Amino acid sequence: MISSEEANLLISRYRSEQPLLRINLILRDMSVKMRLTARAVVREPAGQLTFEADNGDHCLVVLRNCRFEYGDAREVEDPEIRARSEERFAGCLTVLFPSGERLYIMELR
């Protein structure tokens, strides 16, 4: 777990530096998996985060009462998966919603 303040620092960096991000939403029962490659929108009201893809598709996330985790490929035990992850992603911010759903925000290399 990381604090909301630490998560906000990462989100601020996503907004200011505009790295390309892979966003995955996976419902708790695994009935829906959605993926978007986008950048964080620069100006947002507090407590929300919007991602916008190059084609104009977007995703709005309300961060009220969410918890956060952060990890990177060094934490993956399987060496094969770790190597693939290190190649593609710089790290992963996970948003844990009060409902139990998870949103994964991975910075692409």
Complete domains list, the chain, with CATH: 4-108 (2.30.29)
Cβ atoms 95, 21 nearer than 8 A: no
pLDDT over 90 (residue 43): no
For 10, 37, 58, the CA distances from 105, given in Å and listed in that order, are 10, 10, 14
pLDDT over 90 (residue 86): no
* pLDDT cut 90: percent of the chain above it: 51
Per-residue pLDDT, 88: 84
Q: Locate tokens 């530096």: which residue?
A: 17
Per-residue pLDDT, 39: 95
> What is the radius of gyration, based on Cα positions, of the chain?
14
